Amino acid sequence: MLTRVHALRRLRDLGGGSFAVEVDGPIPPTSPGQFYMLRTEQRWPVQLARPFSLYDRAADGAWGSFLVKPVGEGTRALLDQQPGEGIVLTGPLGRPFPRDVADPVCVAGGVGLAPFLLLAREHRASGRDLRLLFGARSRAGLSGLEDVSAAARVLPSTDDGSFGFRGTVGDLLADLIARGEVRAGETVFCCGPDPMMHAVAALCARHGLRCFLSLETYMACGYGVCNGCTVKVQGPRFAGWPYSRTCMEGPVYEAGELVP
């Protein structure tokens, strides 16, 4: 883990109000699902840096980008920077999606798309297209759709039916299961808003699918010192300890490890 100031290269509009915040390297090798703590060097309006999954990275690490949706003061400050201004990055942090799943079914909601572009590129490099179910309320919320469609086999869904399957991305997964296109024993990787992840985890449990969730727990330090990011857990990985720090043992957990 390193903390370093990186110059902003550009903000690339991904539609729906979200941007790829692209910074100069060096960006260290980073596994899909790992994240960085970000803040601006100047004019940072809040006390703590904010966590973001690495969205994209040049193969040689010469640049990297983060998919940022403005929801509060920190994200707005990041999107308010000018090219050449400094963005402070700490990372890579956290535990990525498991590396040994050859053909996962990926399910993304909104900015939950972020970890899957790198994963899609890795899969394509090894000769296999990633299956990605990508949902939002409407077409505008599918920020980054063009990027990921160039790298993966994307099945889009919108709650209002304005693009792709009509319904939630969980409904889309249920539909694929009902049609036998996703079967018991397969593995789902999921990232998105909490209600969507709960629905996907419950669906997977009912149909015998393994399920890994990337949590967007609120974080303070991002590297294990404040205990501000704990979730209740169970299972052998935690050796009987009932809490886990999302920034260290997560953000990716197997669904059954999380205590509702």
Of all residues in the shown chain, the one whose CB is closest to ligand FAD is: 72
Q: What are phi and psi of 134, to 5 degrees?
A: -130, 115
Q: Is 69 a binder of ligand FAD (CB under 6 A)?
A: yes
- Give me the helices (H) in 21-168, please: 73-78, 114-125, 145-149
Nearer to ligand FES, 67 or 93 (CB): 93
CA distance linking residue 168 with residue 121, whole number of Å? 25
Nearer to ligand FAD, 186 or 257 (CB): 257
Q: Is 219 a binder of ligand FES (CB under 6 A)?
A: yes
Q: Which of 208, 225, 242, 259 binds ligand FES (CB under 6 A)?
A: 225
* One-letter identity of residue 81: Q
Strands 210-214 and 187-191: parallel
Q: Is 150 a binder of ligand FES (CB under 6 A)?
A: no
Nearer to ligand FES, 151 or 231 (CB): 231
Q: Which of 57, 95, 210, 245 binds ligand FES (CB under 6 A)?
A: 245
Residue 54 contacts residue 43 (beta carbons within 8 Å)? no
**Contact stretch for ligand FAD (CB under 6 A) within 69-77, 81-89, 147-155, 195-203:** 69-77
Residue 113 contacts residue 200 (beta carbons within 8 Å)? no
Spatial CB neighbours of 254, under 8 Å, sequence gap ≥ 6:
210, 211, 212, 213, 235
Shortest spacing between CB 47 and ligand FES, in angstroms = 13
Nearer to ligand FES, 72 or 224 (CB): 224
Binding site for ligand FES (CB under 6 A): 219-222, 224-229, 245, 247
